[in-house]
């Protein structure tokens, strides 16, 4: 059994209990909330077959297809334009539809980073279901063999020769791999990297490599989709947005560098795909990963909306177009996913 199917934890047991008790079925019969839920995926596949960060795998191919099939039956799957129109309050319902039937739970499917499996696995599944996905690309990584900082950190920890070590930049962190395991240790180190105080990412990665004494990242095949693949996806109904140019954390940059990251990425996407890119996804997307100034810069760079990544759903007239909330899809059972969908449809909360 692979790690991708090792479901456990209190949330999984709670979801199963809600199904067994009939509560999930009852929720699915209640009136829909009028809202936008944005689901965020990264990679589709088996983390056991990869050398790097297992945390960026959202689902296997089978799980992803099952999730999309379930969403098609239970909610209204939205396009990027429909989502932006809903947030902006400009959607136009058909004249014959009543106010009540116009109320619906909309779900938008998004992907960050543009890994190659987005083209190889996710795109054919979405196309087979007739569903649009939105793919946010870091334009410097398109078509490359790049190992971005989160995967580089994961590889260092996976191959670490030292099991206990201390990081001192940007602040002290004691790591014990034997006590906290790969996942716990990696999460702590990634949180440290993402702190606003980390204004020198190259220094962080160098000091981590010195501390763990791991292996050098090996030469690998192409890891990110290329422009020809992106153009094929665009012709097939997929939408694209910016994930900046280099995937730098915007809150760690000066205003000028933030503008350069956003404007350069948008210009490259227009040149390569022939479309005016409307949306941005902030790298990492936590509340401290962008600021009010970042929102202003994004608007100035020509974007109509921007997506965060700290959870939650979106109500019309209550959501900023430059902080559209997204919920991360993690390795979870189909039972839990069905319960989350039913709860969200009725209450507006994607839970448990």
Distance CA 112, CA 281 (A): 8
Q: 103 and 8, same structural domain?
A: yes
Largest CA-CA distance found in the chain, in angstroms, rounded: 67
Q: 198 and 124, same structural domain?
A: no
DSSP-assigned beta bridge partners for residue 242 = 137, 280
Q: 101 and 71, same structural domain?
A: yes
Dump pLDDT digits (tens) for 217-261.
998 899 999 999 999 999 999 999 999 999 999 999 999 999 999
Q: What is each CA distance from 64 to 70, 107, 221, 327, 342, in whole angstroms? A: 10, 14, 24, 15, 17
- pLDDT for position 5: 56
Rg, C-alpha atoms of the chain: 20
Tokens of 53: 């960060």
Q: 329 and 182, same structural domain?
A: no
Is position 217 within any domain?
no
- pLDDT for position 91: 58
Dump pLDDT digits (tens) for 122-157.
999 999 999 999 999 999 999 999 999 999 999 999
Is position 198 within any domain?
yes
pLDDT at 4 over 70: no
Distance CA 255, CA 291 (A): 10
- pLDDT for position 1: 32
DSSP-assigned beta bridge partners for residue 314 = 36
Nearest to 316 by CA among 108, 30, 110, 37: 37
For residues 295-314, give the mean pLDDT: 98
Q: 185 and 107, same structural domain?
A: no
Distance CA 167, CA 272 (A): 41
- pLDDT for position 98: 47
Q: 227 and 102, same structural domain?
A: yes
pLDDT at 83 over 60: yes
- pLDDT for position 92: 53
Dump pLDDT digits (tens) for 39-62.
999 999 999 999 999 999 999 999
Sign of CA dihedral 259, 200, 182, 48: positive
Distance CA 153, CA 53 (A): 8
- pLDDT for position 223: 96
What CATH number has the domain bearing residue 75? 3.20.20.370
Q: 130 and 32, same structural domain?
A: yes
- pLDDT for position 94: 42
Is position 352 within any domain?
no
Distance CA 150, CA 138 (A): 14
Hey, what long-range contacts does 6-10 have (CB within 8 A, 24 or more apart)? 6/331, 7/331, 7/332, 7/333, 7/336
Categorize the per-residue pLDDT at 24 as very low, low, confident or very high, splitting at 50, 70 and 90.
Answer: confident
3-state helix, strand, coil in the chain (%, to 5): 45, 15, 40
Count of domains observed in the chain: 2
Q: 200 and 181, same structural domain?
A: yes
Dump pLDDT digits (tens) for 251-302.
999 999 999 999 999 999 999 999 999 999 999 999 999 999 999 999 999 9
Q: 265 and 186, same structural domain?
A: no
Q: 280 and 333, same structural domain?
A: yes
Is position 329 within any domain?
yes
- Residue 294 contacts residue 125 (beta carbons within 8 Å): no
Is position 97 within any domain?
yes
Provide CB contacts within 8 A for 128, sequence distance 6+.
65
pLDDT at 36 over 80: yes
Q: 240 and 328, same structural domain?
A: yes
Distance CA 304, CA 262 (A): 13
Is position 21 within any domain?
yes
Sign of CA dihedral 234, 238, 242, 247: negative
Which structural domain, as residue segments, surrounds residue 56?
3-145+223-347
DSSP string, 316-352: TTTS-TT-B--EE--S--HHHHHHHHHHHHHHS----
Is position 239 within any domain?
yes
Is position 218 within any domain?
no
Q: 184 and 140, same structural domain?
A: no
Counting every residue, how long is the chain? Answer: 352
Claim: this prediction has a pTM higher than 0.85: yes
């Amino acid at each position: 059994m692979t790690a991708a199917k090792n479901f456990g934890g209190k949330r999984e047991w709670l979801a199963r209990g809600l199904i067994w008790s009939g509560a999930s079925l009852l929720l699915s019969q209640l009136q829909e909330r009028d809202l936008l839920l944005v689901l965020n995926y990264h990679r589709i596949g088996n983390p056991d077959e990869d050398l790097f960060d297992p945390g960026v795998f959202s689902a296997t191919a089978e799980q992803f297809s099952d999730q999309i099939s379930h969403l098609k039956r239970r909610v209204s799957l939205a396009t990027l334009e429909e989502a932006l129109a809903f947030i902006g309050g400009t959607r136009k319902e058909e004249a014959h539809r009543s106010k009540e039937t116009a109320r619906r739970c909309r779900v938008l499917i998004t992907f960050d980073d543009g890994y190659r499996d987005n083209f190889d696995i996710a795109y054919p599944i979405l196309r087979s279901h007739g569903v649009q996905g939105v793919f946010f690309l870091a334009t410097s990584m398109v078509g490359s063999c790049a190992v971005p900082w989160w995967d580089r950190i994961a590889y260092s920890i996976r191959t670490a020769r030292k099991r206990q070590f201390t990081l001192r930049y940007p602040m002290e962190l004691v790591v014990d791999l034997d006590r906290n395991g790969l996942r716990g240790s990696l999460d702590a180190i990634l949180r440290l990297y993402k702190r606003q105080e980390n204004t020198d990412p190259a220094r962080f990665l160098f000091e981590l490599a010195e501390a763990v004494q791991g292996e050098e990242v090996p030469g690998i095949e192409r890891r990110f989709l290329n422009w020809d693949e992106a153009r094929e996806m665009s012709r097939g109904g997929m939408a694209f947005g910016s994930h900046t140019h280099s995937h730098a954390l915007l809150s760690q940059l000066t205003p000028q560098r933030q503008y350069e990251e956003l404007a350069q990425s948008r210009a490259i996407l227009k040149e390569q795909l022939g479309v005016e890119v409307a949306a941005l996804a902030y790298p990492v997307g936590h509340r401290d990963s962008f600021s009010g100034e970042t929102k202003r810069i994004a608007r100035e760079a020509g974007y109509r909306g921007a997506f965060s990544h700290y959870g939650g759903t979106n109500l019309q007239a209550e959501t900023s177009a430059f902080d559209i909330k997204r919920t991360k899809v993690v390795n979870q059972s189909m039972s839990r996913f069905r319960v989350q969908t039913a709860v969200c449809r009725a209450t507006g909360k994607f839970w448990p």
